[in-house]
Structure 1
């Protein structure tokens, strides 16, 4: 169940509207690094949490709802950058040849389909896809995916921060960057709280693995190369269960020997 409060999570002010920056902000809404991705990712992960792990369900669901608020903030920022942009600013932006080319081939749908407002698309106008969402049903795997999602989201926000001189936009982005900092830390804290979980899934019996290769760094160079002596080729493994080793080559399995093709598939080779 959700409740809505008709108030932005954080103030959104635009002092100098910029239609080009509005298109850039779309990446933070519907892009692979955007808020739609993490809101749905955390929500669908929460749906899969079993009853005995309710503290993780709450962590995920509360963060998902927070991310919905971020979408609302960014959508407001897009509208303010589009609707209030004066003509002289549009023309000034076009003085840069690169920006002019991008604006000329930009997103007419923001005007034609959305009336100068935000859309569930990325900065190139590509619609958001659920394919961005990671919800595996394994809490540890999902938490690692969440660290990555917040890392790339924070990276995007810091780049957007550098692309604007508008004080209001910088204030909004500074808030979003701060929240990404918190979210990265909370997912790491959740992983720490889970205890032993590496390798994921930790429930699979490791004795069923091929133990000749489960802690060996495999070189794929054609010519044999020496062990570079890095932390992933020697010393104790990250999970503390074995020692890393270095293999200068691959085990080899001979050429592929496919069985005869199935006639009904019409895969004959002429």
Structure 2
């Protein structure tokens, strides 16, 4: 079972909307080496895992896959916020929906040539399950061979390539909102590289001779350096409420990154960051829920929380 803690895994910085940055970030979400790929690949590998004696490896892969769900949420929300409202224009909920067009104004003109027009035409100014070129995410990206060494090697390659791409994304934009998320994912990709590299080492695989962790020098990015200085690249979380994960039997000892840190799998989950919902945009035909629907949502949520409390106690 999975539980959702209503917090972002990392804080999303505030900045102006930037449709071009939003479109670039789509590669990190729905591209071949994006967060949707890692999420689905690791979860399917853990679901299909065989061999009780290999439980620490299953737990490691599943823990990382669970974290990737939060990465999809983080990068998707960042894309949505980069598309939230037209730059230099903020309408009022009390305005008629056609007010932005008065006098020939075109508040969404930036959508035509600054990003992916589908964000505005079919996506309600939000993230889509596509790459930066608009190609839909495909399940055929998922690699699950059934051979543990092959899967770990492929996962290490996937994280290495994903981190390399995110370094390029960082250098494509100076938007603080985009960079806050990109930097966090760069560091967490390194943590996952360390996890799969250490797992291969425990199986006697000399991965360094054929698949070195790329030297991206990402520490030169100020936001990345701050997180690396906190040791975030050497932590791995279990996301296990039952305290049954054995991933710590693998994720321990000196970091494969050779940065002088020790791997630490002692934490269940990171602290998280408060989650907020973007405002409605009636002037851009991206409204939220009407009053009747809000009342239904609140009543349903109250019933669900009461059921959870009755089953598991107050959470």
Please report the TM-score for the alignment, with normalisation by the length of structure 1: 0.65
Q: CA deviation at 1:197?
A: 8.8
Q: In the alignment, is the contact (CA less than 8 A) between 1:106 and 1:124 conserved in 2?
A: no
Question: Cα distance, 1:185 vs. partner?
Answer: 1.2
Aligned-partner Cα distance in 2 for 1:103–1:153: 28
CA positional deviation for 1:143:
0.6
Q: 1:183 maps to which residue?
A: 192
Look up the match of 1:53.
54
Counterpart mapping for 1:78-89 below 5 A? 78-86=79-87
CA distance in 1, matches of 2:204, 2:112: 50
- What 5-or-longer segments of structure 2 have no aligned partner? 90-108, 208-315
Q: How many angstroms apart in 1 are the aligned matches of 2:205 and 2:11?
A: 41
**Equivalent residue, structure 2, for 1:201:** none
Higher relative contact order by CA 8 Å / sep ≥ 6: 1 or 2? 2
Give the 3-state SS of the residue equivalent to 2:145 in structure 1. Answer: coil
Aligned match of 2:23? 23
1:13 positional shift: 2.2
Residue of structure 2 aligned with 1:170, choices 174, 179, 182 = 179
Task: Name the counterpart of 1:4.
Answer: 4
For the structure 1 residues 16 and 30, does the alpha-carbon distance in structure 2 shift closer, same or farther, using more than 3 Å as the test?
A: same
| Alignment match, 2:71 | 70
- Show the counterpart of 1:194: 203
Corresponding position of 2:34: 34
| Maintained 8 Å contact 1:14/1:81 | no
Output the aligned Cα RMSD: 2.3
Q: Which residue of 2 aligns with 1:153?
A: 162
| 1:166 CA displacement | 2.1
Distance 2:129 2:195 in 1: 27
- Aligned partners of 2:198 and 2:137: how far apart in 1? 29
Residues 176/196 of structure 1: CA separation in 2 closer, same or farther (3 Å cut)? closer
Rate the CA distance shift 1:116–1:191 in 2: closer, same or farther, 3 A. Answer: same
Greater C-alpha radius of gyration: 1
State TM-score, norm by structure 2: 0.56
Q: How many residues align?
A: 187
2:79 and 2:176 map into 1 onto residues whose CA distance is 15
Given that 2:163 and 2:189 are in contact with CA atoms closer than 8 Å, whether structure 1 keeps it comes out as yes
After superposition, the Cα gap between the structure-2 partners of 1:38 and 1:59, relative to the gap in structure 1 and judged at 3 Å, is same
For the 8 Å contact 1:46–1:60, the answer to whether it is kept is: yes
